């Protein structure tokens, strides 16, 4: 968070990211970052830093979802709201890209959401404690891991329910240590261009054939490329190839 005097006003600029400022991992990890002058986000960061340094004992946030104070409750509320809409006959959707899904409550909520009619796409690079069960979930719950040229490190959350569409990125995985025992933050994507980029990232990842492994009901991971061959799918799309093409196109 940088505060700068510009003429007669103080303007604040913020950078929020899913990764660390580490020059070594930056060559191997893929992360998402947001550079913004949004005043409500900057005010939230100021409150967070005051809390971390002890200048404030309590912090209220307008936009950020911060752990351990609020993040678990905020995620629970959104999953429950999506589940309720599905039970009313709606068509809610949840997508999450995380490094790990091992928190018992989040596993239970997502399991029940898919069972009751919510379409759920999960991209879980590492440990995953939720298994798809076609008998209960149908084809509504899809869980994949993407392993390839780079280490997929970003966390991205998308919720569609009750006519709302929300996007968050940040540092928090769905683990009890992230939700209850660390200071973590998810930040909202508010600008249409930022949302478009996140939609693009999620679309590329979900369409990956070359590097995707699909989680099976018995806990085994099956390479999607092999399934695609058996289904005679001609294109074997690679997310990493596509991301490099998109970056090159944006730079050009």
Q: What is the pLDDT of residues 101-154, one digit of tens each?
A: 999 999 999 999 999 999 999 999 999 999 999 999 999 999 999 998 899 899
Percent of the chain with pLDDT over 90: 81
DSSP string, 126-159: S-B-----HHHHTTSEEEEEE-SSSEE--EEEEE
Q: Kindly report the average pLDDT of the chain as a whole number.
A: 93
What 3-state class would DSSP assign to 109? helix
Give CA separation, 90 vs 75, 85, 118, 222, in Å. Answer: 19, 5, 9, 31
**Residue indicated by tokens 């196109």:** 249
What 3-state class would DSSP assign to 113? helix
């Amino acid at each position: 968070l940088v505060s700068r005097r510009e003429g007669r006003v103080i303007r604040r600029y913020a950078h929020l990211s899913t990764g660390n400022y580490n020059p070594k991992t930056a060559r191997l990890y893929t992360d998402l970052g947001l550079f913004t002058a949004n005043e409500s986000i900057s005010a939230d960061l100021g409150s967070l830093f005051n809390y971390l340094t002890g200048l404030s004992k309590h912090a209220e946030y307008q936009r950020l979802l911060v752990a351990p104070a609020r993040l678990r409750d905020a995620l629970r509320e959104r999953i429950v709201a999506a589940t309720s809409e599905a039970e009313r006959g709606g068509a809610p959707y949840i997508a999450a890209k995380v490094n790990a899904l091992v928190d018992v409550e989040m596993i239970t909520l997502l399991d029940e959401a898919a069972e009751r009619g919510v379409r759920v796409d999960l991209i879980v690079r590492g440990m995953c404690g939720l298994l798809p069960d076609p008998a209960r979930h149908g084809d509504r719950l899809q869980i994949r891991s993407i392993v390839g040229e780079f280490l997929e490190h970003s966390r991205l959350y998308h919720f569609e329910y009750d006519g709302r569409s929300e996007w968050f990125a940040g540092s928090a995985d769905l683990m009890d240590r992230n939700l209850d025992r660390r200071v973590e933050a998810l930040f909202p994507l508010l600008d249409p261009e930022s949302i478009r980029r996140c939609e693009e990232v999620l679309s590329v990842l979900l369409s990956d054939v070359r590097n995707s492994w699909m989680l099976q009901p018995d806990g085994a991971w099956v390479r999607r490329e092999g399934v695609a061959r058996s289904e005679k799918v001609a294109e074997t799309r690679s997310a990493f190839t596509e991301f490099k093409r998109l970056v090159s196109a944006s730079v050009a």
